[in-house]
Amino acid sequence: MSITYPSGRQLILTRDVGELIGMSLAQSAGGTPIPLISNVKWEPFGPVSGWDWHMASGLVPHTRQFDLSGRIVRYPLGNVLRDVSYDAADRISGFTHLLASDGTPQPALDQSFGYDENSRLTGITTNSASWAIAYDPNGNRTSVSLNGSSSLYNTEATSNRLTSITNPARSFGYDNAGNTTSDSAGYTATYGLNATRAARRSSSTSTPIT
């Protein structure tokens, strides 16, 4: 199977018993394909468990590990391995990291996450920072605190539209259809008759930004 792009390049997909096992790229149809990945492996319950990257330096393996519930619990991230932990509700509760070469812990990269009863993210903790996030009964974010410094989010009671943020101060304007028309960070927007944004402009220039 292959996919030909408008540029003329062709992506060749190699399959075995219906499962993708490799991909290669040719500069044009009929050209010599250059391998991208190969040796793709699959878990019995569905997800991909690994493959080999074809790099200039040679093959680089990528391997993912899963628990008995089918959740990913380890994968490579640069020169480290990231271990993923979950809470009783199957939400990601933390990341821990080990140096891939020798298993040395890398606590400076670790992160932990907290949630409320509605599974909304309420806290993030790293080696050097801590975030706390609060919500109103409608699910709108009301504040974000970073290392004790808070930014407040204000919303319209009748529409739940965000009107302003503090620290740093920022405000927003809307048209009658609810489209954002202004942002005190220095932008305005206009819309066509079908409510698709026609132009976004910076206050420092009249040139539309696309």
Q: Would the pTM count as exceeding 0.85?
A: no
In sequence order, the β-bridge partners of residue 132 are: 123, 145
Question: Is the model more confident about 30 or about 124?
Answer: 124
Taking the C-alpha atoms of residue 101 and residue 110, their distance in angstroms, rounded to an integer, is 18
- Write out the DSSP string of 84-114: EEE-TTS-EEEEEEEETTT--B-GGG-EEEE
177 contacts: CB under 8 Å, gap ≥ 6: 191, 195
Question: Is the separation of the CB atoms in 144 and 150 below 8 Å?
Answer: yes
pLDDT, tens digit (0-9, with 9 covering 90-100), for 94-141: 999 999 999 999 999 999 999 999 999 999 999 999 999 999 999 999
Q: What residue ranges do the domains of the chain occupy?
A: 1-63, 64-117, 129-168, 172-210
Question: Is the separation of the CB atoms in 130 and 141 below 8 Å?
Answer: no
Residues in the chain: 210
Whether 195 has a pLDDT exceeding 60, the answer reads no
